[in-house]
Amino acid sequence: MTKDDTAWIGLTLTGARPRTVAALYRYFRNLDLAEEAFQEASLRAIKTWPKKGPPRDPVAWLILVGRNSGIDTVRRTSRFTELPDESRISDTSDAESSIVDRIDESHYRDDILRLMFVCCHRDLPATQQIALALRIVSGLSVKQIARAFLVSEAAMEQRITRAKARIAKSGTNFETPDAVERSERVGAVAAMAYLVFNEGYSTAGEREETRNVLCEEAIRLGRLLLGLFPAEPELMGLLALMLIQHSRHAARFDDDGHIVLLDRQNRTLWDHALIAEGLALIDKAMRHRRPGVFQIQAAIAALHARAIRPEDTDWVGIELLYRTLETIQPSPVITLNRAVAVSKTEGPEAALELIEPLGSALGDYFYFHGLRGGLLKDLGRLDEARTAFDMAIALANTSAEAVHIRAHLDELGSVATS
């Protein structure tokens, strides 16, 4: 059996993780045990599914196997530990169909959403909330989460460990939060959902199915959140942003898995149904006159989406929106993004001047060196551009990113020999 023959197992486990871990946590009320039980169930799946084929419902299968594994773990570690009462898992039986029917029976009873609210508990600092939810709910690795936060793996590991310990100590209930608690935590939950999306969106060069699993799960979570808070404009903005960005998924990579930049994408491949839905959400959000970070980012994405041709892009409007975003949420990454718009409106020299002070904050950031190299190349400062591109390659997260920068270096070589 080849690797391709079993690739579907990894994709299935990735997609099943959020619901499975959430259901296992609902049963055991222990984050570490729920994770361990899911891992044991995944190992069983890897061993048995290639021989017997996929079960009728993989999520229900994983929940049943994981629950049995967790029970065995509890029995091994302590003979005196009383197992949770069957009623605490809402009368879950061994029938796969009855388990699955309850997993998503309504927005307010969705296990994943409840687990997200547990992870985003108000007693945790915001950074711990989001990091824990990314690890527990979506199963991102510590390395992936650390990259999203621009911190070391060791620091992120400590952050997640502290968050788990605090959750365990607080004895947080796995119940649907009341209206006040939901309002207090919704911002952190929304940020977590977007980081899940962004991890899938930025996983350049990986299998398209892998990227889409994370993006589509984040969009699903965004829809659930908006269902809970249908009048919240920031959640409209969040969902709109994800829909518009995901609409470009078919055009972002060529047949070899290489990155295709926005101004070179075949715009006929964009999913215009997703764009239309996103634009409608933005228009609805703006009518509330309560602008926020997600709404502004969605408005930027909308200006790109509305441009039939790259040259039709309203770069002046995009630059102004980034200025607004910098005011609301100052960040070197936002300034870096604004520099792209500045390069279109004022030229590469102005953009380079804007990003040079960011070197200390973004010295380990791939996109900083990639943009800086491009600007230096446009200014004819080829030696400096080559050095910047070399730095970018050293910091590339995927082979596709490295190949993209290598193409720039090849262009520099052509210029030097011409």
Which of 18, 416, 400 has its CA nearest to residue 206? 400
Residues in the chain: 418
| pLDDT average, residue stretch 147-170 | 86
| pLDDT average, residue stretch 34-53 | 92
> Taking the alpha carbons of 94, 99, 101, 102 in that order, is the dihedral positive or negative?
positive
Return the top range by mean pLDDT from 76-85, 144-153, 158-167: 158-167
Residue 92 has pLDDT above 70, yes or no: no
Long-range contacts of 352-356 (CB under 8 A, 24+ apart): 352/376, 352/379
Q: Do residues 373 and 406 lie in contact, with contact meaning Cβ atoms separated by under 8 Å?
A: no
* Whole-number Å distance between alpha carbons of 229 and 211: 27
Q: What is the pTM of this model?
A: 0.73
DSSP assignment of 280-346: HHHHHHHTT----HHHHHHHHHHHHHH-SSGGG--HHHHHHHHHHHHHHS--HHHHHHHHHHHHHHT
Q: Which residues pair with 259 in a beta bridge?
A: 253
End-to-end CA distance of the chain: 50
pLDDT tens, residue by residue, 257-277:
788 989 999 999 999 999 999
Which of 296, 322, 320 has its CA nearest to residue 233? 296
| pLDDT average, residue stretch 217-236 | 88
Tokens 């119940």 correspond to: 175
| Neighbour count for residue 6 (Cβ, 10 Å) | 12
* Whole-number Å distance between alpha carbons of 33 and 39: 10
* Whole-number Å distance between alpha carbons of 213 and 215: 6
pLDDT tens, residue by residue, 356-400:
999 999 999 999 999 999 999 999 999 999 999 999 999 987 787
Mean of the per-residue pLDDT values of the chain: 83
CATH code at 324-418:
1.25.40.10
Q: How confident is the model at residue 110 (pLDDT cuts 50, 70, 90)?
A: low
* Predicted local distance difference test score (pLDDT) of residue 189: 82
Q: In terms of CATH architecture, what is 111-171+179-230?
A: Orthogonal Bundle (1.10)
Backbone angles phi, psi at 361, to 5 degrees: -80, -35
* Whole-number Å distance between alpha carbons of 349 and 304: 23
Q: Do residues 221 and 186 lie in contact, with contact meaning Cβ atoms separated by under 8 Å?
A: no
| pLDDT average, residue stretch 183-205 | 76
Lowest mean pLDDT among 18-22, 34-38, 241-245: 18-22
DSSP assignment of 117-155: HHHT-TTS-HHHHHHHHHHHTS---HHHHHHHHT--HHH
| pLDDT average, residue stretch 129-156 | 82
